[in-house]
């Protein structure tokens, strides 16, 4: 297995200001310093990272600043996270223009994976065909990713249409998008992460790892919550997955570097020599 850590912990998730006036300019971003995050991720022993699409915009006209930071930390940009509502026809073209731009930036900085979030919940409740609309949107986004040499996968997420296992099952039946399990989001939605990895093992393309505490409904560094990561790793191995494991912790009360090291310690115990 290869181990990476997302830059999200260094600032949490926000959105780009341009999205207020233009859907095509609505990207994910963090409050943090991406270069500092990369430095810490390398210092914690990881060999890869994942960055939000909006954080790449900072380096669009100064690519060497990001490339030099990656080289200095001896890590590579593995994946970029993007997404959209996917269910509203009126804004679809702008959403896909944004995703295409994100995929182009991801490829430019060496990533080969595009992680897709989204699937909006309507204020008045879902329409009967919303998951079908999401499936069609993900198919279109996967084609855009492939046009840039990237493999796309869908990341089920709390607060979206695909929280619970039954919604995931409906989506997976309707679309052939690849699967990016996020262990904490799956657990928070009422699922068993290891069981879902086993169920959709033939569609794994990327993996997000974070722990979950159901009492507080909070995300935790690996080993600090209640998830059975020994079983999760066993499920990944049973599926034949021997690739990037991306730790992704949305926030942490202490120093992000400390959280990254906690998760690395847990992974070291679980994987032994089976990681790089």
Taking only the tens place, the pLDDT of each residue in 115-166 is 999 999 999 999 999 999 999 999 999 999 999 999 999 999 999 999 999 9
Q: Is 242 among the domain residues? A: yes
Q: Above 70 in pLDDT, residue 275?
A: no
CA angle 214, 188, 127 (to 5 degrees): 145
Q: Which two tokens stand for residue 200?
A: 């959709």
Q: Above 80 in pLDDT, residue 21?
A: no
Q: Looking at residues 43-65, what average pLDDT do you find?
A: 97
- The pLDDT of residue 17: 76
Of 6-20, 33-47, 133-147, 244-258, least confident by mean pLDDT is 6-20
pTM (2 d.p.): 0.95
- The pLDDT of residue 15: 82
Query: Around Cβ 143, how many Cβ atoms within 10 Å?
Result: 12
Q: Above 60 in pLDDT, residue 233?
A: yes
Query: Around Cβ 39, how many Cβ atoms within 10 Å?
Result: 17
Residue 32 has φ and ψ, to the nearest 5°, of -85, 180
Residues 6+ apart with CB under 8 A from 135: 171, 174, 175, 177
Q: Is 276 among the domain residues? A: no
Q: Is 84 among the domain residues? A: yes
Biggest CA pair distance of the chain: 51
Please report, for the domain that includes residue 48, its CATH number: 3.20.20.150
- The pLDDT of residue 11: 92
pLDDT per residue over 163-188, tens digit each?
Answer: 999 999 999 999 999 999 999 999 99
- The pLDDT of residue 272: 82
Residue 3 has φ and ψ, to the nearest 5°, of -110, 130
Q: Pick from 84, 171, 159: which is nearest to 132 by CA?
A: 171
Instruction: Quote the percentage of the chain above a pLDDT of 70.
Output: 98
Residue 258 has φ and ψ, to the nearest 5°, of -65, -40
Q: With left for phi above 0 and alpha for psi between -120 and 50, is residue 118 left, alpha or beta?
A: left
DSSP-derived letter for residue 213 is E
- At 25, the pLDDT band (50, 70, 90 cuts) reads confident
Q: How many domains does the chain have?
A: 1
- The pLDDT of residue 19: 72
Q: Which domain holds residue 64?
A: 2-271
Q: Above 70 in pLDDT, residue 274?
A: no
What per-residue string of b and e applies to 190-218 under the rule 16 or more CB within 10 Å gives b? ebbbbebbbbbbebbbbbbbbbbbeeeeb
Distance (Å, rounded) from C-alpha 190 to C-alpha 99?
29
Q: Where are the beta strands (DSSP E) in the chain?
A: 2-6, 14-15, 28-29, 48-52, 76-84, 113-118, 151-154, 178-179, 208-209, 211-213, 218-220, 244-247
Mean pLDDT of the chain: 95
Query: Around Cβ 135, how many Cβ atoms within 10 Å?
Result: 22
- The pLDDT of residue 269: 95
Q: Above 60 in pLDDT, residue 110?
A: yes
pLDDT per residue over 147-156, tens digit each?
Answer: 999 999 999 9
């Amino acid at each position: 297995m290869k181990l990476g850590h997302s830059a999200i912990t260094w600032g949490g998730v926000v959105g780009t200001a341009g999205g207020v006036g233009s859907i095509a300019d609505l990207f994910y971003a963090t409050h943090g310093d991406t270069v500092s995050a990369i430095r810490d991720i390398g210092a914690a022993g990881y060999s890869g990272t994942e960055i939000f699409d909006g954080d790449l915009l900072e380096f669009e006209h100064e690519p060497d600043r990001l490339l030099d930071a990656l080289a200095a930390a001896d890590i590579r940009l593995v994946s970029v996270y993007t997404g959209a509502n996917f269910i509203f026809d009126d804004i679809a073209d702008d959403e896909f223009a944004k995703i295409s731009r994100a995929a182009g930036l991801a490829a430019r900085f060496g990533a080969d994976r595009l992680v897709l979030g989204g699937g909006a919940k309507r204020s008045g409740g879902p329409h009967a065909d919303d998951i079908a609309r999401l499936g069609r949107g993900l198919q279109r986004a996967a084609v855009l990713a492939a046009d840039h040499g990237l493999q796309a996968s869908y990341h089920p997420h709390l607060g979206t249409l695909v929280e619970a296992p039954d919604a995931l099952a409906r989506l997976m039946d309707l679309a052939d998008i690849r699967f990016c399990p996020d262990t904490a989001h799956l657990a928070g939605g009422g699922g068993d992460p290891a069981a879902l990895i086993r169920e959709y093992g033939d569609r794994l393309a990327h993996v997000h790892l974070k722990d979950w505490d159901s009492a507080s409904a909070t995300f935790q560094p690996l080993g600090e919550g209640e998830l059975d990561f020994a079983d999760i790793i066993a499920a990944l191995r049973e599926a034949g997955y021997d690739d990037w494991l991306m730790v992704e912790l949305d926030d942490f009360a202490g120093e992000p570097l400390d959280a990254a090291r906690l998760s690395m310690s847990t992974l070291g115990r679980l994987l032994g020599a089976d990681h790089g």
